[in-house]
């Protein structure tokens, strides 16, 4: 029972929600209290807060999640009908490894019940615990981070700066693909960039996202875990008064990305990390979660191999390669077919990689899409 790993929401939040308007989100969220465990049978999304900051060397810092909850629950929902629960705060252990175990256990249980954990708080190394939640789920994992840098630092560095190295190196290795969204080159070593290229991972610089946020929608559509580091957002928009980041995503862009994350049929966990203990951040974090939930309610649950009659099939010859594209006649989203022959996909001959209309146009002009090329290289 996962509730043994969770601390109920405070009485202050219970009283706060009781006094809210019936039209607010707070009135639609089921709370885990001292006297009541939520029935999860009809729950689709579960909010979990984690006050674990030792991975960022902030042993004595705690975040007041009550302020975040008040801000979120004061918002008005859209035309939403999916069950949402606030499961409270994950218990923090004597060691960070204890907290990892707690969060891993909670996430594994929820994912098995087809409930999406919305993990709020703590340092970003908690992404490692979320990744480990998939160990017993018998699947490879696609991880996307929205961050201003890659967290591939040497392991003797802070855990929040090196957790990706652990994910790549440690067994069992469930990672199939990693994508970095919004990184800033001056925060990134050439050694890390070379590693990303060697492993055929996907990267999108901040400038590319600002120019066209939609280019990462296919990346999100193929993700199992999306982990947001609030350092990716410029300080003037995030409200971060502890550290100053003059460049980064703005509030509108990060909410757009959160909506893409929610719309993705595949995303199973969404996390927001590295708060800076500033009350000003609560408004943006609450809106990020709001947009994810909004996107979740717009999911179409479409996959071309399940119902081919709902898709157009296009075959293109590009550079001696026969590329097969599918376009949904409902959402107009695109996929490209990939043949897999590698160790991780012994039983899978073909799968579909989300792509864009621009990828199809490029193929028509005899240009092989970069994502197809990387996936093809990775499959051998």
Please write the tens of the pLDDT for every residue from 162-210. 899 999 999 999 999 999 999 999 999 998 899 999 999 999 999 999 9
Measuring CA to CA, which residue among 29, 16, 24 is closest to residue 76? 24
Is residue 32 within 8 Å of residue 9, measured between CB atoms? yes
Please give the average per-residue pLDDT across 109-133, as a whole number.
Answer: 96
Please give the average per-residue pLDDT across 34-62, as a whole number.
Answer: 88
- Domain ranges for the chain: 2-296, 308-378
47 Cβ contact list (under 8 Å, min separation 6): 29, 84, 85, 86, 87, 118, 120, 289
Q: Which region among 79-93, 135-149, 300-314, 326-340 has the lowest average model confidence (pLDDT)? A: 300-314
Q: Is the pLDDT of residue 257 over 90?
A: yes
> Per mean pLDDT, which of 51-55, 63-67, 156-160, 266-270 is the most reliable?
266-270
Measuring CA to CA, which residue among 158, 139, 212, 140 is closest to residue 181? 212
Cα 246 → chain centroid: 24
* pLDDT bucket at 7, cuts 50 / 70 / 90: very high
What Rg do the C-alpha atoms of the chain give, in angstroms?
21
Give the per-residue pLDDT at 72: 97
Measured between its terminal Cα atoms, the distance across the chain in Å is: 42
CATH topology of domain 2-296: 3.40.800
pLDDT in tens, 272-291: 999 876 667 899 999 999 99
* pLDDT bucket at 159, cuts 50 / 70 / 90: confident
Give the per-residue pLDDT at 278: 64
Give the per-residue pLDDT at 350: 76
Give the per-residue pLDDT at 139: 87
pLDDT in tens, 287-311: 999 999 999 999 998 876 666 778 9
């Amino acid at each position: 029972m996962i509730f043994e790993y969770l601390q109920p929401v405070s009485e202050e939040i219970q009283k706060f929600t009781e006094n809210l308007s019936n039209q607010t989100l707070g009135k639609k969220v089921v709370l885990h209290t001292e006297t009541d465990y939520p029935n999860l049978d009809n729950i689709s999304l579960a909010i979990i807060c984690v006050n674990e900051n030792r991975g960022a060397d902030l042993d004595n810092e705690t975040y007041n999640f009550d302020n975040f909850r008040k801000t979120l629950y004061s918002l008005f929902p859209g035309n939403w009908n999916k069950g949402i629960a606030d499961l409270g705060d994950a218990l923090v252990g004597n060691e960070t490894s204890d907290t990892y175990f707690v969060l891993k256990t909670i996430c594994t249980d929820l994912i098995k019940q087809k409930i999406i954990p919305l993990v709020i708080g703590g340092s970003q190394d908690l992404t490692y615990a979320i990744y480990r939640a998939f160990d017993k789920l018998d699947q490879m994992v696609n991880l996307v981070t929205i961050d201003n840098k890659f967290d591939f630092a040497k392991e003797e560095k802070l855990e929040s700066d090196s957790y990706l190295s652990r994910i790549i190196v440690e067994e069992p290795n469930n990672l199939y693909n990693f994508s970095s969204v919004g990184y800033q080159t001056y925060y990134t070593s050439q050694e890390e960039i070379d590693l990303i290229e060697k492993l055929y991972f996907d990267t999108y610089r901040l400038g590319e996202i600002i120019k066209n946020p939609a280019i990462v929608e296919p990346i999100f559509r193929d993700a199992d875990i999306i982990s947001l580091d609030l350092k990716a957002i410029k300080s003037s928009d995030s409200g971060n008064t502890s550290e100053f980041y003059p460049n980064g995503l703005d509030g509108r862009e990060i909410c757009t990305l959160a909506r893409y994350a929610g719309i993705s049929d595949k995303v199973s966990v969404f996390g927001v990390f590295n708060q800076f203990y500033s009350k000003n951040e609560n408004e943006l974090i609450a809106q990020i979660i709001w947009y994810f939930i909004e996107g979740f309610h717009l999911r179409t649950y479409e996959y071309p191999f399940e119902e081919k009659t709902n898709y157009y099939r296009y075959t293109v010859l590009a550079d001696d390669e026969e590329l097969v594209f599918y376009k949904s006649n409902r959402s107009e989203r695109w996929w490209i077919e990939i043949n897999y022959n590698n160790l991780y996909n012994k039983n899978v001959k073909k799968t579909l990689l989300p792509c864009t209309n621009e990828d199809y146009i490029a193929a028509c002009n005899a240009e092989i899409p970069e994502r197809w090329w990387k996936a093809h290289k990775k499959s051998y």
